[in-house]
Chain A
Amino acid sequence: MSWRRAALLAVPVAFVGVFFAYPVVAIMGRGLVPDGSLDLEPLGDVVTDGGLREVIWFTLWQATVSTVLTVLVALPGAYVLGRYRFAGRRLLWAAITVPFVLPTVVVGSAFRSLFEEGGPLGSLGLEQSLAAILIAHVFFNYAVVVRTVGGLWSHLDPGQEEAARVLGASRWQAFRTVTLPSLRPAIAAAASIVFLFTFTSFGVILILGGPTYATLDVEIYRQTVSLLDLPLAAALTIVQLVAVVALLLVSARLEGGRAGALRLRAAAEVAHRPRGWAQRGLLLANLAVMGLLLGVPLGVLVERSFAVSSGGYGLGSYRALGDLRRGTSLFVPPAEAIVNSLVFALAATVIALVVGGLAASALSTGRRHRARGSAAGIETLLMLPLGVSAVTVGFGFLVALDEPPLDLRGSPALIPIAHAVVAVPFVVRVMTPVLRSIDERLRESAAVLGASPARIWREVDLPIVARAALVAAGFAFAISLGEFGATVFIARPDYPTLPIVIFRLLGQPGALNFGAAMAASTILMALTATAVVAIERFRVGTVGQF
C-alpha cells in the first residue's frame, strides 16, 4: 500500500518542493547567509527588539480573536444554509463566498471607504481601528466556516440527533453531544484555515490598520520592499514558518483525532423548510447578518464605482478602464488585465486540482492506524504554503527562479504556478475530509466486484468527492483571480492581472483613478461571483449528488 501512496504523493511533493520549499530556502540563504557565512544577528534582533516582539504578539492575538469571532458568527449561518430549504438558498450559498475570494486590496478599500470620515459609517469612529480589522476578517472568512461546516452539516444524518432527543437530551444537549462532535473535524478544519489566514493577514491590515497595527506579514513586506532589510525579513519569515508548522501540527492532531466515518445522507433528504417561529426567526436573523456583514461593504464598493466626481452616477469609471494608460504607471489598458486574469486562473485551477487532488487521495488512503505520523507530516508540508505569506511565495519566486537550473524569470507561467502554490492547500483541505469520510466498505465492495485500485478511485471516490472537488476548483479559480501578495512580485508590466491593476490605480492620486479602481474591483467581484455561481450550478447534474 505504501508504494501506492508514494506514487500518488510524488507529484504534489515535487511541486511543493520546487515551487515552494526551494524558493523559501533561497530567501533564507540570502537572508541568513548573506556573505557565505552564517549570520544570526537578524534572528536575535527579532527576539530582542521590543517593536518586533510587539508585532509577533499582535499577529497571534488578533488571529485568535478573529477566528473565534468568525466561528461564532458563522456557525448559525452554516446550520441555516446546511439544513434549511428556502428560496434563494443556492444563490446565497454562492453569494456568501464572494467576500472570501475578493482581493485583500479591494476589501481593505471597501471597508476604508465605509468607515472613513464622511463615509456611510464614518460616525462610528472606526477608521484605522482594531474593530475595523476584526470586522473585515470576519467578513473575509465567514464563507470558509459556512461552506466547510455547512457542507458537512447538509449531509449529516439527523437520525443520530433524533436518537439523542428520544434518549432525553434537550435540543442543546443533542447538538453538543451528537452533532457538534460529528462536525468537529469540519469546524477544526475551517477554524485552522481562518486562523492561518488571519495570522498571515496582509492587505487588510496594511490598508485598515494604518501605521499603528502591523502583523508579521506586513512587517516582512515593509522590511523587504520599503527598508530593503533582507536579513531581517528572512528572520521574520523563519519565526513565521516555525509558528505555522506548530499551528498546522496542532490542527492536524485536532482533526485527526476522531475523523471517523460519518453516516452521510443525501442533502436533499436532510434539508427541510424552517418549521415554527423559532426556526423562521433563526433563518431571518442569519439572513440579516449576511446582508449587513457581507452586503453593505460590497454595496458601498459598487456605489463608489458608479459615482462620478460631479455628484450623481454614471459609467465614467468603467469607460476609463478601456483607455486609461497614459499618465499612469500602467503599460496596458486595465481591460486587457481581465483576460489575463481569466487565463491565469484557469491554468492555476487545473494545476491546483491535479496536485491537490493527488495529495488528498494519498492522504486519505490506507488504514487509519497505520502511517498516521507520516500522513500528518506530509499534510503539514502541503499546508505550509497556506501559512507562509503569499508575499514570501512571490518574493521567493523572484529570488530563486531567476537563474539556472530554473530560469523562469519573465515567463508568464510563473503566475499560475504561484497561484497554484497558494491554492493547493485549499484543495487538499476541502477534499481530504470528504475522502476520509467515505466508508471503507464501499471501496472494499467495489474491489471484490472486480474494480482495480485506480478504478475504485474513479467509480467510488470520484463521484462522491466530485462535489468537494468542484468546491475546491471554485476556490482555486477565485483565489487565483484575486491573488495579490505573490503576484505583485512576479507580474510583468505587460501581463498584469486585475488585482495588480487595481493596486496600481489605488496608488495613483485623483478621483478618476480611484473610480477606475472601484470599477475594476466591481468587475473582479462580478467575475468571481459568476465563477462561484457557475460551479454551484454545475453540480446540479449527476455529479456530486448523493
Chain B
Amino acid sequence: MLSIDGLVVRYGDATALDGVALEVRDGEVVCVLGPSGCGKSTLLRAVAGLEPPAAGTVAWDGRDLAGVPPHRRNLGLMFQDHSLFPHRDVLGNVVFGLRMQHVAPTRARARAQELLALVGLGGYEHRRVAELSGGEQQRVALARALAPAPRLLMLDEPLGSLDRRLRDRLVVDLRELFVQLGQTALFVTHDHDEAFAVADRVAVMRAGRFEQVGPPADVWKRPATEFVARFLGYNVTGLLGPGRAAVRPDGLHLALEGPLTGIVTARTFHRDHFLVRVKVADGSPLEVAVRGDTVPEVGDAVTLAADPDAVIPLS
C-alpha cells in the first residue's frame, strides 16, 4: 500500500506540491485529476523518487522510501510522451526492466512477448519505436512499464497525445487490464471522463493540494468545492438560492418562468442534445442541455429554471 503524507515539493520558490496526503491500497486504481500545472505530474515524480520532497513522506507498506533511489523502488512510471528508448526496438524496450532485474534472457523475452500480446502488439518485437503510431507507442510504453511487475504503476497522462476515439477505447482497455492483473495504479489526467472511467477513486487536485478525494460517482454527484464543480463541467451560479450552487447543464431547462434570464451566445450539437450557452443577468455564462426540436438561436432571449434536486449547494 502506498501512503503519501504531508508531501511538499518545491522548485526554487514555487511550491508544486503543498502538503498532499493520499493512500493507494493494493489492487486499487486511484486517479489524480486536475488542470495542467496543478502539480499532479510532480506527485508521480516525487513518488518515483525523481523529485526530492521538501517535507512529508512517501511510504510503502509503512516503510519510508525517503532514502531509496528510483531504481530500487520497484515502481513503474509511464511518461506522457512515453519516452521510449529510440535506440532500441520494441522488444529491447519491453525487456529493459527485466534485464535490470537480472532475469534470464530467455525468460525475459518470453515475459516481454506475453506482455506485448496482452497489449495487442504480438509480432511487433523487432519494429523500431520510431515507426510506431502514437497508440502503438503508448502500448509499448505500457508493456515496458508492466514487464518488471511493479508493485505500483504510475501513468502520467498516458493517453494525452492520442485522438479521442482511440482514447475512449484505450481507457476501457486499461481498466480491463488493471482489473485483470490486479494492478495497483496511480493515474494522472486532466480529463474527468478518463478519470471516472479508469479509477476506483478520484483525487481532484488544484495548485498542489487535493480539493476532494472519493469514488468517481460521489465526486461527480457531490462536488465539494466550486473549483471541483467547475472542473467537472458544472455551472456555478449565485442566482439560484441563498449561497452559490452548482448545477449540471442537464439540470437546467428552458421555461416560461424562472430565476434565470439571459441571451443565447452559442449553441453546439452533441449527438442527442444541444448545449446552449446563455449569458445571464450577472454576466456569467451558463450552459444548458436542450433536447427536443425547439432549440433557441444565438441572440434569443431565454428563461431558465433548474430541477430542484439537481442544484447542489456549495459550502
Residues of chain A whose beta carbon lies under 8 Å from any beta carbon of chain B: 264-266, 269, 369, 439, 441-442, 444-453, 455, 459-460, 463-464, 545-546
Q: Does B262 contact A (CB under 8 A)?
A: no
Minimum-distance CB pairs A-B, first 7:
A450-B100, A449-B97, A447-B70, A546-B87, A448-B77, A441-B83, A463-B87
Interface membership of chain B positions 51-70, coded 1 if the CB is closer than 8 angstroms to chain A and 0 otherwise: 00000000000000000011
Contact between A455 and B130, CB atoms less than 8 A apart: no
A residues within 8 A CB of B75?
448
Which label, helix, strand, loop or mixed, suits the secondary structure of the A interface?
helix
Contact between A451 and B83, CB atoms less than 8 A apart: no
B63-103 contacts to A (CB < 8 Å): 69-77, 79, 81, 83, 85-88, 96-97, 100-101
Contact between A545 and B100, CB atoms less than 8 A apart: no
Give bound CA distance, A265 to B48, whole Å: 28
Q: Does B12 contact A (CB under 8 A)?
A: yes
B16-70 contacts to A (CB < 8 Å): 45, 48-50, 69-70
Chain A residue at minimal CB-CB distance from B45: A444
Contact between B148 and A449, CB atoms less than 8 A apart: yes
B residues within 8 A CB of A264?
86
Contact between B76 and A448, CB atoms less than 8 A apart: yes
Contact between B87 and A545, CB atoms less than 8 A apart: yes
Q: Does B144 contact A (CB under 8 A)?
A: yes
A residues within 8 A CB of B12?
369
Pull 19 A–B residue pairs with CB atoms less than 8 Å apart, ordered by A. A264-B86, A444-B45, A444-B50, A444-B77, A445-B77, A448-B70, A448-B71, A448-B73, A448-B76, A448-B77, A449-B100, A449-B144, A452-B71, A455-B100, A459-B96, A460-B85, A463-B87, A463-B88, A546-B87
Contact between B79 and A451, CB atoms less than 8 A apart: no
Q: A265-B130, A441-B81 are in contact. Are A450 and B86 (CB under 8 A)?
A: no
Contact between B71 and A450, CB atoms less than 8 A apart: yes
Give bound CA distance, A264 to B50, whole Å: 24
A residues within 8 A CB of B74?
450
Contact between B101 and A447, CB atoms less than 8 A apart: no
B residues within 8 A CB of A459?
85, 96
Contact between A451 and B100, CB atoms less than 8 A apart: yes
A residues within 8 A CB of B77?
444-445, 448
B residues within 8 A CB of A452?
69, 71
Give bound CA distance, A367 to B110, whole Å: 37
B residues within 8 A CB of A444?
45, 48, 50, 70, 77, 79, 83
B residues within 8 A CB of A463?
87-88
Give bound CA distance, A447 to B81, whole Å: 16
Chain A residue at minimal CB-CB distance from B81: A441
Which has the most chain B C-beta neighbours within 10 Å: A439, A450, A463? Answer: A450
Interface membership of chain B positions 112-153, coded 1 if the CB is closer than 8 angstroms to chain A and 0 otherwise: 000000000000000010100000000000001100100000
B residues within 8 A CB of A545?
87
Contact between B71 and A447, CB atoms less than 8 A apart: yes
B134-191 contacts to A (CB < 8 Å): 144-145, 148
B residues within 8 A CB of A450?
71-72, 74, 97, 100-101, 148
Give bound CA distance, A448 to B145, whole Å: 9
Within the complex, what minimum Cβ distance (angstroms) separates A439 from chain B? 7
Seed contacts A442-B85, A444-B70, A450-B100; 19 additional CB < 8 Å A-B pairs: A266-B86, A266-B128, A369-B12, A441-B81, A444-B50, A445-B77, A445-B85, A446-B85, A447-B69, A447-B71, A450-B97, A450-B148, A451-B71, A452-B71, A455-B100, A459-B96, A460-B85, A464-B86, A545-B87
B residues within 8 A CB of A449?
71, 76, 96-97, 100, 144-145, 148
Interface residue from B49, B73, B79, B148 paired with A445 (Cβ < 8 Å): B79
A residues within 8 A CB of B100?
446, 449-451, 455
Give bound CA distance, A451 to B76, whole Å: 12
Within the complex, what minimum Cβ distance (angstroms) separates B190 from chain A? 19
Give bound CA distance, A445 to B73, whole Å: 13
Give bound CA distance, A264 to B72, whole Å: 30
Chain B residue at minimal CB-CB distance from A463: B87
Give bound CA distance, A451 to B97, whole Å: 8
Give bound CA distance, A495 to B128, whole Å: 50
Give bound CA distance, A132 to B33, whole Å: 68
Within the complex, what minimum Cβ distance (angstroms) separates B42 from chain A? 13
Chain B residue at minimal CB-CB distance from A264: B86
Give bound CA distance, A442 to B84, whole Å: 7
B196-251 contacts to A (CB < 8 Å): none
B residues within 8 A CB of A445?
77, 79, 83, 85
Within the complex, what minimum Cβ distance (angstroms) separates B41 from chain A? 11
Give bound CA distance, A445 to B137, whole Å: 14
Within the complex, what minimum Cβ distance (angstroms) separates A539 from chain B? 12
Within the complex, what minimum Cβ distance (angstroms) separates A117 from chain B? 56
Chain A residue at minimal CB-CB distance from B141: A445
B residues within 8 A CB of A453?
71
Give bound CA distance, A441 to B87, whole Å: 15
Contact between B87 and A464, CB atoms less than 8 A apart: yes
Which has the most chain B C-beta neighbours within 10 Å: A445, A448, A453, A464? Answer: A448
B residues within 8 A CB of A266?
86, 128, 130
A residues within 8 A CB of B87?
463-464, 545-546
Give bound CA distance, A183 to B174, whole Å: 40
Give bound CA distance, A447 to B76, whole Å: 10
Chain A residue at minimal CB-CB distance from B144: A449
Interface membership of chain B positions 264-304, coded 1 if the CB is closer than 8 angstroms to chain A and 0 otherwise: 00000000000000000000000000000000000000000
Give bound CA distance, A463 to B100, whole Å: 16
Interface residue from A442, A455, A546 paired with B83 (Cβ < 8 Å): A442
Give bound CA distance, A117 to B126, whole Å: 63
A residues within 8 A CB of B97?
449-450
Give bound CA distance, A447 to B87, whole Å: 17
Which has the most chain B C-beta neighbours within 10 Å: A447, A459, A460, A464? Answer: A447
A residues within 8 A CB of B70?
444, 447-448
A residues within 8 A CB of B128?
266
Within the complex, what minimum Cβ distance (angstroms) separates A273 from chain B? 20
Give bound CA distance, A459 to B76, whole Å: 18
Give bound CA distance, A459 to B87, whole Å: 10
Chain B residue at minimal CB-CB distance from A460: B85
Within the complex, what minimum Cβ distance (angstroms) separates B84 from chain A? 8
Within the complex, what minimum Cβ distance (angstroms) separates B135 from chain A? 19
Give bound CA distance, A460 to B45, whole Å: 19
Give bound CA distance, A380 to B216, whole Å: 56
Which has the most chain A C-beta neighbours within 10 Å: B81, B96, B100? Answer: B100
A residues within 8 A CB of B49?
447
A residues within 8 A CB of B48?
444, 447-448
Chain B residue at minimal CB-CB distance from A543: B87
Within the complex, what minimum Cβ distance (angstroms) separates B125 from chain A? 16
Give bound CA distance, A455 to B73, whole Å: 16
B residues within 8 A CB of A464?
86-87
Give bound CA distance, A269 to B48, whole Å: 34
Interface residue from B69, B73, B81, B96 paired with A446 (Cβ < 8 Å): B96
Give bound CA distance, A266 to B84, whole Å: 14
Chain B residue at minimal CB-CB distance from A446: B96
Which has the most chain A C-beta neighbours within 10 Å: B69, B71, B101, B130? Answer: B71
Give bound CA distance, A439 to B315, whole Å: 45
Contact between A546 and B86, CB atoms less than 8 A apart: yes
Give bound CA distance, A463 to B87, whole Å: 7
B residues within 8 A CB of A460?
85
Give bound CA distance, A306 to B202, whole Å: 82
